[in-house]
Structure 1
């Protein structure tokens, strides 16, 4: 059984990582920490009320509308970001000059959300994120910060890059 919440260690993935780190040999721990920090910032696309600007504002009893039938979601993704690789329609991939995005669309039909796993650096990665959100008529939620990603709102992405660069050095 999985659990998810909004704080740093309120989910099974974080707990699993902590267990793996605890059980790793001392010389292996640095590699594990580097791999997770260079890996990802999570962004989720959900249909949220128009007035919601952060996760704290989502009503406890709110259930997001579905994004739509799978074939419509895939068509919208392809139209929004034409370079996307959907050879595996459950896991799309999109690459830029200094970044990559994995799109976890899943295999369910209809699709309820799309999770984006963003790696790399540079603000130009936010352009496809915002295009996807617009095409899917949803909001991009920065899962690390709990805020929405909107034009001009890059604090979560910048904070992730600064933290990563401080710990593992600037990305290449």
Structure 2
């Protein structure tokens, strides 16, 4: 169980998934090697068990990185099991690369939100109600 964030690049900036027209599609973000390097630069120590899956474990918690099969890549899915401390650097990372990060549960783009960690906090509150679920930092 994780808070899932879809990262991609569009032809323009959106604030909500409902704004995306049927003629829009994700643009190339970079080669697999470039994307893995960008992930590893932000999430130092990220490991790659195979070309399409990376894992990071740090003080704020863990993030799994699922890369699309395309090369160049057109999307990344982040599977976040971490505290809100992970959100700000992740948003800075997206902005630096011209990418957008959408919280899949709400359909909002995090870097356009006044409270980008709100979706993570809502997910954590939900997770904490489920018996036996691990409590991340």
TM-score (norm 2): 0.82
- Is 1:160 matched up with 2:120? no
* Aligned counterpart in structure 1 of residue 37 of structure 2, from 72, 75, 79: 75
**Is the 8 Å Cα contact of residues 9 and 28 (structure 2) preserved in structure 1?**
yes
Q: Structure 2 stretches of 5 or more lacking a match?
A: none
Q: Take 1:89 and 1:82, find their aligned partners in 2: how far apart are those partners?
A: 17
Per the TM alignment, residue 158 of structure 1 is displaced from its structure 2 partner at its CA by 1.1
The alignment's C-alpha RMSD in Å is 2.3
Q: Take 1:65 and 1:158, find their aligned partners in 2: how far apart are those partners?
A: 29
Instruction: Determine which structure has the larger strand proportion and give its number.
Output: 2
Which protein has the larger Cα radius of gyration, Structure 1 or Structure 2? 1
2:14 maps to 52
* Aligned counterpart in structure 2 of residue 133 of structure 1, from 67, 90, 94: 94
TM-score (norm 1): 0.67
Instruction: Write out the 4+ residue segments of structure 1 that deviate beyond 4 Å after TM superposition.
Output: none
146-155 or 40-49, which deviates more: 146-155
* Aligned counterpart in structure 2 of residue 101 of structure 1, from 55, 59, 63: 63
1:16 maps to none
Structure with more contact order per residue of length (Cα contacts < 8 Å, sep ≥ 6): 2
Instruction: Determine which structure has the larger helix proportion and give its number.
Output: 1
